[in-house]
Structure 1
Amino acid sequence: MWEIFVAIVLGLVEGLTEFAPVSSTGHMIIADDLLFKSNELFGDEVANAFKVIIQLGSILAVVVLFWGRFMDLLGLRKMNRIHGEKTGKLNLLQVIVGLLPAGIIGVLFEDFIDEYLFSPLTVAAGLLVGAFLMIAADKFQPKVKAETVDQITYKQALGVGLIQCISLWPGFSRSGSTISGGVLLGMSYRAAADFTFIMAVPIMAGASLIKAVKYWEYFTPEVLPFFLAGFISAFIFALICIRFFLKLIEKIKLTPFAVYRIVLAVILLFIYL
């Protein structure tokens, strides 16, 4: 039962932090590496495979919430309204333009990132620098040119894609960097958040599937309950978090999240220095 409890808690951490601009990596270091140590329960390889599974649970939550939008992008179903807004302007090519920069760099430097950038201190650095980027987005937001995700231009999509590259440094947070970048490029907070979540599905799913193949031999019947509990937990809490975040972001903006990130970074530095 302890293993199931650990799985549920880690799924909760993943679900609540993967799409909020607070860095799921930093939270997983504290929750798993310091408190629960899933690698000691099953071994490093199974622990890594488990993290792939709970990330897939979070991705599924985005797919469910944006189902109509994805069907529209793929040309499988046309909808008159999504989130109360007219559809028909955001297209698949714009999403691909936003995905390409980080996708290319991620493939080229995956081994380097995994080997050298996944330490508590590098994550703390990412948390701090990313926090200042978020504060800058709030302070220097230009005139909004894209109120909704359907008004995003190719230039904005490419700009967000380029900014997303810095999120490959663990701790920066994909949503933190892309929402900040979108706002600085003239998107509303909601448009930047929607575009961030839409882009997250293919890039996270692709990365997760690559890792799933890598750790496939560790997906055994013995650890299936552990994996399943984490997957369901991550899915449910990601669903709750995304709904809440989309309602909250335009009201409080990014600075409160940035302050939280600074506090988290200080905690990590205090523990590991």
Structure 2
Amino acid sequence: MEQYLIAVVVGIVEGLTEFLPVSSTGHMIIVGHVLGFDGPVADVFDVFVQLGAILSVIFIYKERFTRFFTKDGWDMHKGLSVWHIAAGIVPVMAVAFFLYKYIKMYLFSPFTVAIGLVLGGLLLMYAEHKTKGREAELVDDVDKITMKQAMWVGIYQFLSLWPGFSRSGSTIAGGLLVGLSRQAAASYTFLIAVPLMFVACIYDLLKNLNNLNGDALTVLTIGFVVSFVVAYWSVLWFLKFLHKYDLTSFAWYRIALACVTYWYFYM
């Protein structure tokens, strides 16, 4: 029963935070340390709950992903294309492949997460400050994103390799800084997240497949389903939120969480 409860809690945390600019990896590391949920089985579980979150975005943007498999989906002159998606993920995938071992070894701790949370929060504040009063100039349609903007968002995504910085936070803030509206930046962020996270999850899963056993399947299934449902509603809520509010509240939340994390683990 304790394992089932942990599966629900971690599934909720992953679903709530994966696509919000608050760092799901940071939250998972913190929650894992608090619950004492770590080790090989926890690594496999983390992959499964991420796959649940990925599936929720595929459902929300199913028409868009279906289009990517058509001729028009490959034409960069007819809206957002496969090439725009590739521009946002290929560079960071290449860098992450070579740094994966070192990131896992040296940066997966509550202290490094706290640092990432603060720095990511400051980036969100800076992006909001730079675009304040210029909303009318920003690209408000994801189909109008240029290849140059897509590439720059991909470069900002390098920051997310530091746990706690947040992939969504770095790309949405980066999107604002290169001329995208919050809504366009968020939609582009969610779309590039699917292939990026899918590849990362499969890579992680293959590395930890020997830790998978029949006894863990029920727990993995619970986490997967909970993550899918929570992430689905979390994304829909966030897209509505961005129509009325800016990202400053998320920045302050990150800084507050960093302070609590440091106090809990190191004071």
Q: TM-score, normalised by structure 1?
A: 0.92
Bigger mean CA offset, 97-106 vs 233-242: 97-106
* Structure 1: gaps of 5 or more residues: 79-86
**Counterpart residue number, 1:5:** 5
d(CA) in 2 for partners of 1:125, 1:251: 29
d(CA) in 1 for partners of 2:69, 2:190: 16
2:185 counterpart letter in structure 1: A
1:180 maps to 2:173: yes
| Aligned residue-pair number | 260
Alignment of 1:11-30 (within 5 A): 11-30=11-30
d(CA) in 2 for partners of 1:77, 1:54: 32
- Counterpart contact for 2:160–2:170, Cα < 8 Å: yes
d(CA) in 1 for partners of 2:245, 2:64: 25
* Structure 2: gaps of 5 or more residues: none
1:99 maps to 2:89: yes
d(CA) in 2 for partners of 1:2, 1:184: 45
CA RMSD of aligned residues (A): 1.5
d(CA) in 1 for partners of 2:71, 2:264: 50
d(CA) in 1 for partners of 2:138, 2:255: 30
Q: TM-score, normalised by structure 2?
A: 0.94
d(CA) in 1 for partners of 2:255, 2:138: 30
d(CA) in 2 for partners of 1:30, 1:57: 20
- Counterpart contact for 1:98–1:158, Cα < 8 Å: yes
Following superposition, the deviation at residue 31 of structure 1 comes to 2.1
SS in 1 for 2:8: helix
Bigger mean CA offset, 23-32 vs 237-246: 23-32
Following superposition, the deviation at residue 38 of structure 1 comes to 2.5
Following superposition, the deviation at residue 145 of structure 1 comes to 3.7
Distance 1:121 1:265, change over 3 A: same
**Counterpart residue number, 1:81:** none
d(CA) in 2 for partners of 1:256, 1:130: 13
1:263 maps to 2:262: no
Structure 1 vs Structure 2: percent identity of aligned residues? 41
d(CA) in 2 for partners of 1:89, 1:77: 9
Alignment of 1:124-163 (within 5 A): 124-141=114-131, 142=134, 144-163=137-156
**Counterpart residue number, 2:63:** 68
- Counterpart contact for 1:71–1:77, Cα < 8 Å: no
Once the two structures are superposed, residues 66-87 of structure 1 have per-residue CA deviations (whole angstroms, 9 ceiling, x without a partner) of 1110111221898xxxxxxxx9
d(CA) in 2 for partners of 1:221, 1:163: 40
- Counterpart contact for 2:21–2:166, Cα < 8 Å: yes
d(CA) in 2 for partners of 1:260, 1:116: 25
2:27 counterpart letter in structure 1: H
